[in-house]
Structure 1
Amino acid sequence: MGKNTKRNKKTKQPQQPPQQNGVTASASGTAVEDFEDQQAASSLPRLNGKKRSQLNKLVEELLNLVEKQPANPNEEWKQYEQLQQLLKQIMILEEPLSQAVCPQINDSPDDQTRLAKVEAFSAWAKDGGVHSEGLEIAIFPGYQLGLRATRPLAKDELVLSVPRKLIFSEESNSDCRLFGKMTQATHLNLAYDLVIEKIRGEFSEWRPYIDVLPAKYSTVLYFTTKQMELLRGTAAASLALRQCRVIAKQYAFLYRYAHTMTEPSTGNRSHPGERGLFFTQHGLCYELYRWAVSTVMTRQNLVPSEKQESEDTPKLISALIPYWDMANHRPGKITSFYAAVPRQLECTAQEAVDAGEQFFIYYGDRSNTDLLVHNGFVDDNNLKDYVNIRVGLSLTDALAAKRASILDKLNIRYTAELRVLPAPDFISKELLAFVRVFKMSAEQLDHWCSDLERAGDLLHIDCALETDHETRTWQFLEDRLKLLLAVFNKEMQEADEVKELELKDGQEIEHMLFLYRRLERSILAGALQYAQEHRKV
């Protein structure tokens, strides 16, 4: 997120932007900013014609690959393998850029390196208006950096506030609104803004914040093919592969926009703004974009836009919130809110914290699948966890229209991903209702369609239905759960347990993946036993 306040302009902006060293100054920026931007970019290497030509070809291959929609999991996996091969070649060619823009990414710094930047960051945050009395940034084993209480903190005590001017959002003073006319996905704008500020380096006002961000992440974008293979057959597999495909497509789109797109009428390259194009041409590389996207995915929060036209329907935009985003996750309740009048993010303690203990916040109700793919960690005490399974009506089913009419009344899509839950619920009411409708006979469908107002009864476990109908319902669930659990057969389960015990330091991603497999298997196994018990009743 970019700072939403402009820098003070010492001189009136001329109607026609001046030319500076052959680069047109942005109409929205100051002459000082443009000069600094040129200085920042002038220190970056430029790829020679041969490498650029090779990159152009690889990016076009990448775009052609990701435009194809896989028809099944096997095709999806083959596409991922091809994608990884192309990205590997691209990153080799782009290595001079990634070394210049993100040297710490390649050097794999440890937490101590980040901690060395904390003093400067904390001073910057304090000068910007962050109030964090009672908290300090520290290293915690298994968490990297986090927030530590320097004194006892009381439950519900206001312990941290971050003013709007220090919240990094897309409502910034840059002109690089690359996605502005193409999508409403504000997190893409946010990632692009972060790319720009990262490339600006020492000339960025956000440098102290960027310096304490992780150099690498444990999101799926950083998985090796061997690591990703551990997710095959799980509920997270398709989501993880799709995430990699989408981000690669975004990068390829950015690259083409900067290097190969031209206006048919004029032959000039189309671009979002001089500053945006300038930096994209000089410093954009997949390594940098992967880092920026992972930063946004793992740390973003939603705040109200200050440029919305109506207060009746507040628009929320993605934002990075310095200092607050150092807090790690623990199950509990959400205690962070944006206060409109003081224009700041305020965070209270969700529980009492003793001096020296880590201060946690709750990231919200999210499954471990979601946490794994988008945040790069798994919560083994996640009370809101679930496993999605895909269900759908057959297009060849002569009774599909009647089934769909009942599902519509229940606000359930006829093709959907519905939840299998941990104990004590096991089967979500939506999944149960879907299968009940799916297994209805023609006569039963006529009965329920004649009185759709009663359709809500199908959501309840004790709905009065014929015994044979309920048997078919629970038999279907049992069979489907057995099929899903086949991925985790006894031999593989035992092998997972052995491999998990053999993991060494530096294999945090593998540890996370084995933990995820164990948690998903536990949910499915519990639901299977539950279905079997109901089928026997």
Structure 2
Amino acid sequence: MGKNSKKQPQRNVKIQNKHNLIPEKQELKEKVDQLLKLSTSISQPTIIKKALDNHCELSSLIDKIKNLELQKSISDNGEGSRCTPEKLESFSKWLKANGAIFDGSSIAEFPGYDLGLKADIDIPYASLFIAVPRKLMMTVEGAKKTMLKKYVEKDQLLKNMPNVTLAIYLLVEKFKENSFYKPYIDILPKSYPTILYFSKEELEVLKGSPTLEVALRQIRSVARQYAYFHTLFSNNDDSVSRLLKPHFTYQEYCWAVSTVMTRQNMIPSDNGETKVSALIPLWDLCNHTNGMISTDYNPALNRSECLALRDFKKDEQLFIFYGPRTNAEFFIHNGFIPNNNEYDSYFVRLGISKCDPLRDKRTILLKKLDLENTQEFKLSKGENPINGKLLAFLRIFNMNEGQLDHWIKSNKPGDLEYIECALDVSLEKKSWTFLQTRLKLLLATYQTSLEQDKILLNESKLSHNTQLAINMRASEKEIIWWTLNWLEQHVRQ
């Protein structure tokens, strides 16, 4: 008894020490399980208040997970600045050694832009200033030639979502030894101004904005993907799981997803039959400006080529045009909002009530114009902010039975899409007034006015993300007010 009683406490101490870390790992597993269930159990709520409540619950879980993973994230991200001369020099040498062309330009820092490309000489319009060979790109097809091959071929999430495949591929290359892409990964941003890095308070600045619903859906989707992959890698012992298990955190996954969201481009597949997602080193350092698409893929030389979209003088920053996107698309996918975006638009959802006694006749006429009972319509800050489809929907929505019967029988229902279409004055006024009322109601859902937003944007104490969210909602209000002023003129006629 005496012998046993002396050893028993020592055995208990050993057991306790042995399991010291297990409660933390167990807690992380439980939180990830909860996150997976919460993000997949029900679809994203359509009522924004419920969606926000759901996000608060998700956000609370994510914060706990990030705290549990904090030490791991610190050890993985403690690599210093991406802009050191050594990293930039290594990146430039890597590019040139593998056939990239950027003669007459160099990588530089620009206020408000971080890294970009600087013209070292005058670069005339339409001249080639960047060429990136395919072997330097990270593509979904490239992922299939690595240890990810079986995952990409068998995992349904990776098979169906190429952008997710690219994000996991990026993490594999980040953490494996002697990655070919290390010089590129070293100069990527350590974090991004995308919605994945917004706090709850910063997101709530978007209350009233239709962009908030899109943002919440995106965050929910990424949370679900993270929880899925965390569980997958934790429960497996293949080469990919062994590599990523020690490093895979919510922060790391957000970084990889944001890198892909802000930088991916589409290039032809190896066989040229389809398009594949790709990260294109060097080219993705170019920042956006208004203009035209000046990048294309040269299949003969198997490289991406970019031409100057205008004349650039020596020491100027070299810009490219990212494409005709709305401010909301830039905000969600790129983490910024361009100035004077001529392609910006605001989408308003309109629908025919199921209780409308004339619903069936309205539906018949809508179908003649390839319109749905419920549909989103685009408003823009152009000479005619209302397009033909929206104009036709407004007229059909406000028609009486006799007018519906007339246009159902007409062999020219497409005339309803033209503002010059001869219609009863009362119907026209009713249509304009209906949209006016709807737009004013939409303005009322915002927490602030456009004037208040402009004042707030001049305050220097706001976080970058808060300023970005205010700018987003302000740009939406500008389109609504533009349309309201246009409608006011037509109602008076």
TM-score by length of structure 1 reads 0.82
Q: 1:180–1:189: 8 Å Cα contact kept in structure 2?
A: no
Structure 1 residues 458-477: aligned runs within 5 Å: 458-477=416-435
AA at the equivalent of 1:254: F
AA at the equivalent of 1:318: S
Identify which of 492, 500, 503 aligns with 2:457.
Answer: 500
Identify which of 67, 72, 90 aligns with 2:65.
Answer: 90
Q: 2:206–2:470: 8 Å Cα contact kept in structure 1?
A: no
**Which residue matches 1:421?**
380
Check if 1:161 corresponds to 2:131: yes
Q: 1:131–1:160: 8 Å Cα contact kept in structure 2?
A: yes
Measured in 2, the distance between the counterparts of 1:363 and 1:492 equals: 30
**Which residue matches 1:298?**
262
Query: Cα–Cα, structure 1 residues 137 and 412, in superposed 2: closer, same or farther, change >3 Å?
Result: farther
SS state of the match for residue 379, structure 1? Answer: coil
Q: 1:151–1:354: 8 Å Cα contact kept in structure 2?
A: yes
Task: Please report how far the alpha carbon of residue 464 of structure 1 lies from its aligned counterpart in structure 2 after TM superposition.
Answer: 2.0
SS state of the match for residue 133, structure 1? Answer: coil
**Which residue matches 1:188?**
164
Check if 1:399 corresponds to 2:358: yes
Measured in 2, the distance between the counterparts of 1:464 and 1:319 equals: 51
Task: Please report how far the alpha carbon of residue 259 of structure 1 lies from its aligned counterpart in structure 2 after TM superposition.
Answer: 2.7
Cα displacement string for residues 30-58 of structure 1 (whole angstroms, at most 9, x for unaligned residues)? xxxxxxxxxxxxxxxxx943222212211
Cα displacement string for residues 130-175 of structure 1 (whole angstroms, at most 9, x for unaligned residues)? 0011111111111111111000111111111001111110112213
AA at the equivalent of 1:503: S
Measured on the aligned residues, the alpha-carbon RMSD in Å equals: 2.1
Q: 2:436–2:484: 8 Å Cα contact kept in structure 1?
A: yes
Aligned length: 466
Measured in 2, the distance between the counterparts of 1:398 and 1:493 equals: 38
Measured in 2, the distance between the counterparts of 1:152 and 1:340 equals: 28
AA at the equivalent of 1:82: E
* Greater gyration radius: 2
AA at the equivalent of 1:338: Y
Query: Cα–Cα, structure 1 residues 471 and 98, in superposed 2: closer, same or farther, change >3 Å?
Result: same
Query: Cα–Cα, structure 1 residues 66 and 455, in superposed 2: closer, same or farther, change >3 Å?
Result: farther
Cα displacement string for residues 316-369 of structure 1 (whole angstroms, at most 9, x for unaligned residues)? 111100000000000000000011111110100000000000110000000001
Identify which of 429, 448, 466 aligns with 1:510.
Answer: 466
Task: Please report how far the alpha carbon of residue 460 of structure 1 lies from its aligned counterpart in structure 2 after TM superposition.
Answer: 1.8
**Which residue matches 1:275?**
239
Check if 1:457 corresponds to 2:432: no
Check if 1:381 corresponds to 2:356: no
SS state of the match for residue 244, structure 1? Answer: helix
Measured in 2, the distance between the counterparts of 1:527 and 1:282 equals: 53
**Which residue matches 1:63?**
36
Task: Please report how far the alpha carbon of residue 116 of structure 1 lies from its aligned counterpart in structure 2 after TM superposition.
Answer: 4.6
Measured in 2, the distance between the counterparts of 1:166 and 1:155 equals: 26
**Which residue matches 1:79?**
54
**Which residue matches 2:148?**
176
Task: Please report how far the alpha carbon of residue 492 of structure 1 lies from its aligned counterpart in structure 2 after TM superposition.
Answer: 4.3
Query: Cα–Cα, structure 1 residues 323 and 199, in superposed 2: closer, same or farther, change >3 Å?
Result: same
Identity of aligned residues (%): 36
Task: Please report how far the alpha carbon of residue 493 of structure 1 lies from its aligned counterpart in structure 2 after TM superposition.
Answer: 4.0
Measured in 1, the distance between the counterparts of 2:153 and 2:404 equals: 48
Measured in 2, the distance between the counterparts of 1:351 and 1:413 equals: 42
**Which residue matches 2:201?**
226
AA at the equivalent of 1:400: R
Measured in 1, the distance between the counterparts of 2:359 and 2:105 equals: 58
Identify which of 25, 28, 42 aligns with 1:52.
Answer: 25
Measured in 1, the distance between the counterparts of 2:364 and 2:99 equals: 55
Task: Please report how far the alpha carbon of residue 535 of structure 1 lies from its aligned counterpart in structure 2 after TM superposition.
Answer: 2.0
What are the ranges of 5 or more consecutive residues in structure 1 without an aligned counterpart? 1-46, 261-268
SS state of the match for residue 290, structure 2? Answer: coil
Q: 1:136–1:148: 8 Å Cα contact kept in structure 2?
A: yes
Q: 2:82–2:188: 8 Å Cα contact kept in structure 1?
A: no
Query: Cα–Cα, structure 1 residues 197 and 404, in superposed 2: closer, same or farther, change >3 Å?
Result: farther
Identify which of 208, 212, 227 aligns with 1:252.
Answer: 227
Task: Please report how far the alpha carbon of residue 488 of structure 1 lies from its aligned counterpart in structure 2 after TM superposition.
Answer: 4.8
**Which residue matches 1:10?**
none
Q: 1:130–1:161: 8 Å Cα contact kept in structure 2?
A: yes
- More displaced, 77-86 or 463-472? 463-472
Check if 1:146 corresponds to 2:121: no
Identify which of 84, 89, 98 aligns with 1:128.
Answer: 98
Q: 1:161–1:344: 8 Å Cα contact kept in structure 2?
A: yes
Task: Please report how far the alpha carbon of residue 102 of structure 1 lies from its aligned counterpart in structure 2 after TM superposition.
Answer: 2.5
Task: Please report how far the alpha carbon of residue 186 of structure 1 lies from its aligned counterpart in structure 2 after TM superposition.
Answer: 1.1
AA at the equivalent of 1:119: E
Query: Cα–Cα, structure 1 residues 378 and 516, in superposed 2: closer, same or farther, change >3 Å?
Result: same
Measured in 1, the distance between the counterparts of 2:338 and 2:405 equals: 45
SS state of the match for residue 210, structure 2? Answer: coil
**Which residue matches 2:179?**
204
Measured in 1, the distance between the counterparts of 2:225 and 2:363 equals: 35
Task: Please report how far the alpha carbon of residue 494 of structure 1 lies from its aligned counterpart in structure 2 after TM superposition.
Answer: 4.5
Measured in 2, the distance between the counterparts of 1:420 and 1:373 equals: 19
**Which residue matches 1:439?**
398
SS state of the match for residue 276, structure 2? Answer: strand
Task: Please report how far the alpha carbon of residue 468 of structure 1 lies from its aligned counterpart in structure 2 after TM superposition.
Answer: 1.9
**Which residue matches 2:304?**
345
Which of the pair is proportionally richer in helix? 2
Cα displacement string for residues 242-297 of structure 1 (whole angstroms, at most 9, x for unaligned residues)? 1111111111111222235xxxxxxxx5x8xx222222323211100000000000
Identify which of 306, 327, 346 aligns with 2:286.
Answer: 327
Task: Please report how far the alpha carbon of residue 387 of structure 1 lies from its aligned counterpart in structure 2 after TM superposition.
Answer: 0.9
Task: Please report how far the alpha carbon of residue 444 of structure 1 lies from its aligned counterpart in structure 2 after TM superposition.
Answer: 2.4
Q: 2:209–2:446: 8 Å Cα contact kept in structure 1?
A: no
Measured in 2, the distance between the counterparts of 1:187 and 1:387 equals: 26
Query: Cα–Cα, structure 1 residues 277 and 492, in superposed 2: closer, same or farther, change >3 Å?
Result: same
Query: Cα–Cα, structure 1 residues 535 and 199, in superposed 2: closer, same or farther, change >3 Å?
Result: same
